[in-house]
Structure 1
């Protein structure tokens, strides 16, 4: 499951051995009126079929697959660049929840990546915007407002000890200082699904097959 508003294209460089795995890419659906995250997770779970299921989610997709776990009964849940409970949220998320500042976000502007790119943000930000333009496929105002609210208001405080958490030590969205009990990827940022694919391709099979003691620790 890709991250917030993201397309399955974010997994284009993830290549698990085809003789051992069938990979199924999930896509975001537009939420129903007043649909809860739990109800949404149950609805999306109906698209998951087969045996020996491993759920993998990135960022908000990581939150969602944890909610889907109750309905799918997977063998494993792996989250990448995500959180296991709202206790791992950074302080700014908690402030946004208290003040309801997330309701004031300029959603229409955020959806228009091309318009944002017209402003002078500097080379680094403009390169990031180009990535967003390629990989963000859901540009529906209702979806984006709903998604942001579901993240900020996520009420899970008890960590599921069975969830396997892969996290970059340079993640700027969910800073490492708030994260506990993760498998750390050196120099991994919040978009490490794109630029740490070599590490993931090497180590995901080991994680899935319970050989975590053999993980490469370089994160390269």
Structure 2
């Protein structure tokens, strides 16, 4: 909501409940029904970026931007994969998932009062069943090919998706996982410049 993209009509894709047995590809197949225009520009944030990568395999996308996200499985932390593959995410109490403290603020890079307030509301609204399904799905995500016509914008201080593992087109110095909140002006300018370019990247 903080991105300022004049000249473009923003349409927010709504998360839908995941079916317990479906994978990311099957979920993306259901999500794409919300995209009603041809050759859309897509912006995917965090886990939404992973879904966007899968959606881009199913429809023609003009250009795509991944924020605080990954293009392929290799950009994800192997220790996190191990944790998720073992199913240890099931042991995280619901109360811990839905509440914030100084550790979650630090982990997500929420520094200002507004950032902390936004993260608090975000976690309070989290569907715990969906959160656990997402972790399980990421653990079994096997995409090895970077999508075409896509740029990746990542913060150097991202602790959720470790900055040193990704190879973004743009690095936001000091940006955390929630940099879309506090670096929105810089990110908006990058996106607008990319959308306006006549390139195949």
What residue in structure 2 maps to residue 109 of structure 1?
95
Over 3 Å counting, the alpha-carbon distance change for 1:27 and 1:78 in structure 2 is: same
Supply the distance in 2 between the matched residues of 1:69 and 1:180 (Cα, whole angstroms): 19
Contact 2:97 2:123 in 1 (8 A): no
Supply the distance in 2 between the matched residues of 1:138 and 1:38 (Cα, whole angstroms): 24
What residue in structure 2 maps to residue 146 of structure 1?
133
What residue in structure 2 maps to residue 16 of structure 1?
5
Supply the distance in 2 between the matched residues of 1:102 and 1:23 (Cα, whole angstroms): 33
Unaligned runs of 5+ in 1: 1-10, 213-220
Contact 2:155 2:163 in 1 (8 A): yes
* Residue-pair matches, total: 193
Over 3 Å counting, the alpha-carbon distance change for 1:138 and 1:151 in structure 2 is: farther
Under a length normalisation based on structure 1, what TM-score does the superposition of the two structures give? 0.77
Over 3 Å counting, the alpha-carbon distance change for 1:98 and 1:42 in structure 2 is: closer
Unaligned runs of 5+ in 2: none
1:180 aligned to 155, 164, 167, which one? 167
What residue in structure 2 maps to residue 80 of structure 1?
67
What residue in structure 1 maps to residue 12 of structure 2?
25
Supply the distance in 2 between the matched residues of 1:183 and 1:172 (Cα, whole angstroms): 17
Matched, 1:53 2:5: no
Residue 111 of structure 1: how far off its partner (Å): 4.2
The CA RMSD measured in Å over matched residues stands at 2.5
